[in-house]
Copies of this chain bind each other. A is one copy, B any other.
Amino acid sequence: MREVLAEAAFQLFIDHGFERTTVDDIVARAGVGRRSFFRYFPSKEDAVFPDHERCLADMTAFLDAASDGRDAVDVVCDGARIVLRMYAANPEFSVQRYRLTREVPGLRTYELSVVRRYERTLAGYLRRRWDGAADGPLRAEVVAASVVAAHNNGLRSWLRSGGEGDAEEAVGHAFDLVRQVWGGAGGSPSAGADEEVVVMVAAKGAPMWRVIQQVESALRND
């Protein structure tokens, strides 16, 4: 029933526009009563994004179950991938919805609220992982925002291309940039006197991101 309503609503939004479609139009097309609509969706906007609530629940469950032995930044990247897969599972619908959302200010605002909820969920996980660390809450918010921005950059590229190509690859590439600078920050290992060391040489004045790339490859590879 929920799916039937969402499909009826979406088709009407595409055919006649979001603003001009009423809830009465939707229930007439779906062949149900008006109250059924509001049982499933608090508003017309919610019917455009029927999967975000489930996706948020999936993300929360994934983060709750993640091992503390894993790098915290890797975990939140994987958490964000749950959202990506929801989009990638239905390219045609996702692309149409992307175009619709660009045109309707109310839908863009709704989307911002949803994105903010994902960001808060990821930040909450990082805050727990970095509890007691210096600037833990600050780092949690900045890293969550970075991960969400990287995710959305990859996702948008894929949506703009009309859903062609590999969405996972686009987002994975974007995550690499974030993991390069923030990854390992929540790792448990701490340096001991007898640990292996790596020596690196960098030019003064080299761009910081390039130095980080060098340090990372030196630290990660043998």
Name the interface residues of A178-205: CB closer than 8 Å to any CB of B: 178, 180-187, 189-192, 195-205
Complex interface: chain B residues within 8 A of A216 (CB):
208
Whether A202 and B212, one on each chain, are in contact in the complex, defined by CB atoms closer than 8 angstroms, is no
Min Cβ gap A151→B in Å is 10
Asked if A4 lies at the interface with its beta carbon under 8 angstroms from chain B, I say no
In this complex, how many residues of chain A approach chain B with their Cβ under 8 Å: the count is: 56
Complex interface: chain B residues within 8 A of A60 (CB):
none
Stretch from A6-14, A27-35, A80-88, A141-149 forming part of the interface with B = A141-149
Residue of B nearest to A194 (CB): B203
Min Cβ gap A32→B in Å is 28
Whether B204 and A196, one on each chain, are in contact in the complex, defined by CB atoms closer than 8 angstroms, is yes
Complex interface: chain B residues within 8 A of A196 (CB):
203-204
Most buried by B among A177, A181, A190, A208: A208
Residue of B nearest to A148 (CB): B145
Whether A211 and B205, one on each chain, are in contact in the complex, defined by CB atoms closer than 8 angstroms, is no
Say yes or no: A177-B139 contact (C-beta < 8 A), given A146-B146, A199-B201.
Answer: yes
Asked if A138 lies at the interface with its beta carbon under 8 angstroms from chain B, I say yes
Min Cβ gap A45→B in Å is 11
Min Cβ gap A195→B in Å is 5
Complex interface: chain B residues within 8 A of A154 (CB):
138
Q: How many angstroms from the CA of A118 to the CA of B50 in the assembled complex?
A: 29
Complex interface: chain B residues within 8 A of A184 (CB):
206-209
Min Cβ gap A79→B in Å is 17
Choose from B113, B142, B150, B183 the contact partner of A149 (Cβ within 8 Å): B142
Complex interface: chain B residues within 8 A of A109 (CB):
109, 112-113
27 A–B contacts from the bound complex (CB under 8 Å): A108-B113, A109-B113, A138-B150, A138-B154, A139-B209, A141-B149, A141-B152, A142-B149, A142-B153, A142-B177, A144-B149, A145-B146, A181-B181, A181-B182, A181-B212, A182-B209, A184-B209, A185-B209, A186-B207, A189-B205, A190-B207, A191-B203, A192-B203, A195-B204, A197-B201, A197-B202, A197-B204
Nearest first, the 3 A-B pairs at minimum CB distance are A191-B203, A145-B149, A184-B208
